[in-house]
Structure 1
Amino acid sequence: MFAVDANDDTMTLQLCEMATEIRDKLEVCGLKQSRVLTIEIADGASHPLANCLAYFYCEFDLVRVTNPSTWDALLEEDQAYAGLPANVTLKALLTHEITHALVAQTAGDREVALVDQEYIAASMELEFMEEAWRDVLLGASTVTLPPKVGLIDIWIYAFSPRKFAVNAWQHFNLPENGCAPVQQIVVGDVSFSKAVRPELR
Structure 2
Amino acid sequence: MKLALQAPWFAGLLVAGALAASAESRIECAGTSVSARAPDRETAMHACEAAAAATRFLSGMGLDVSAPIELRIVAALPDGVGASAIGCFVREQRTAWVLIESECRNPAAVFELPMSKALHRSVVAHEIGHAIAGANFSVARPEPVAQEYIAYVTQLATMPPELRNRVLERYPRSSSEGPGHLNGPVYLMDPSRFAAIAWRHHLGPDGGAAFIRRVLDGRALADVW
Matched, 1:122 2:155: no
Show structure 2 runs of 5+ residues with no match: 1-32
- 3-state SS, counterpart of residue 36 of structure 2: strand
Tell me which of 98, 102, 109 is aligned to 1:69.
102
Counterpart position of 2:13: none
Which residue pairs with 2:54 in the alignment?
A: 22
Does the CA-based 8 Å contact 1:146-1:170 persist in structure 2?
Answer: no
1:186 corresponding residue in structure 2? 216
Please give the alpha-carbon distance, in whole angstroms, between the structure 2 residues aligned to 1:194 and 1:5: 36
Conserved? CA contact 2:77–2:97, under 8 Å:
no
Cα distance per residue 1:143-170 (max 9 Å; x no partner): 4267412211112111110111111111
What's the secondary structure of 1:98's corresponding residue?
A: helix
Change (3 A) 1:194 1:175: closer
- Matched residue count: 192
- 1:70-149 aligned at under 5 Å gives the runs 70-71=103-104, 73-76=105-108, 80-83=111-114, 86-107=116-137, 110-144=140-174, 147-149=177-179
Distance (Å, rounded) in 2 between the aligned partners of 1:89 and 1:156: 22
Q: Does structure 1 residue 49 correspond to structure 2 residue 79? A: no
- 4+ runs deviating over 4 angstroms: none
Aligned to 2:191: 161
Shift of 1:93: 0.8
> Would the alpha carbon gap of residues 128 and 175 (structure 1) be closer, same or farther in structure 2, given more than 3 Å must change?
farther
Bigger helix share: 1
Q: State the TM-score, normalizing by the size of structure 1.
A: 0.84
Q: Alpha-carbon deviations, 1:12-35, whole Å to 9, x = none?
A: 122223312321221111222232
Instruction: Confirm or deny that 1:171 pairs with 2:201.
Output: yes
Aligned sequence identity (%): 22
Q: CA deviation at 1:192?
A: 4.7
Preserved CA contact (<8 Å) 1:5 1:40: yes
CA distance in 1, matches of 2:177, 2:220: 18
1:35 paired residue among 48, 67, 91:
67
Unaligned runs of 5+ in 1: 196-201
Q: Structure 2-normalised TM-score?
A: 0.76
Shift of 1:80: 2.7
Aligned-residue RMSD, C-alpha: 2.3
